[in-house]
Chain A
């Protein structure tokens, strides 16, 4: 058990809808990362927050947004969903801004129908 908690585990929704994925980092970790994993793309970095502030941005679509709250949990919001957004979404956390190994949760499987 990595200590990173993601909810929900599964999410099925229709095209055009909006969903929110939630992540609680390991106790004491200040950084939260979001990754998308699809069969053809592998693990792709979306965004990193450190202590409430955005630190790094990857190939995150404009329809996607994230935030980290004062209690350090994070939410990833996906809107105007398309079939191609179906994937596993992983949250990871680390102690520092950039030199710690990342510890991953077990992901949220999103299916857009």
Chain B
């Protein structure tokens, strides 16, 4: 069974204090790993897709990396507006030719000014 575990559950940072969020996954044949950002009362907002180990993607202060067992979301010099819940999801071969994603529980990030 495909599984995703995110850590930590919650993270408090000072503005400018860089850190990383972890997403460990177990999947029968990874087709894609996805990072989303979710603000309170809103739907998840797509950030990145990673397909193979060694791949990296960047967007502003965020950088996502992928290994065979986990993905990291690195946040460099975060700002208060980066505060949100970050969700990791995987799509495995067991999902067939469908878009079914398995989500982790998320990491809630709070950045204080």
Contacts and interface: CB of A to CB of B under 8 A. Distances in A.
B30 interface: no
A97 B98 contact: yes
A90 B36 CA distance: 14
Contacts of A107: 42-43
B18 interface: no
A56 interface: yes
B99 A43 contact: no
Interface residues of A, number: 27
Interface string A71-113: 0000000000000000000101010111111111111000000
Interface residues of B, number: 26
A6 to B, nearest CB: 8
A102 B99 contact: yes
Interface stretch (B20-28, B64-72, B74-82, B101-109): B101-109
A33 B42 CA distance: 16
Given A42-B105, A45-B102, A99-B32, A56 B96 contact: yes
Given A42-B105, A42-B106, A90 B99 contact: no
Contacts of A33: 99-100
B91 interface: yes
A15 interface: no
Contacts of A99: 31-32, 99
A68 interface: no
Given A2-B46, A43-B89, A56-B99, 7 more contacts: A33-B99, A42-B106, A43-B103, A55-B97, A98-B96, A98-B100, A103-B46
Interface of B: 31-32, 34, 36, 41-46, 49, 87, 89, 91, 95-106
A-B pairs, top 10 by smallest CB distance, nearest first, are A104-B43, A56-B98, A43-B103, A98-B99, A42-B105, A101-B46, A106-B43, A98-B97, A98-B98, A104-B44
Interface of A: 2, 4, 31, 33, 42-45, 48, 55-56, 58, 90, 92, 94, 96-107
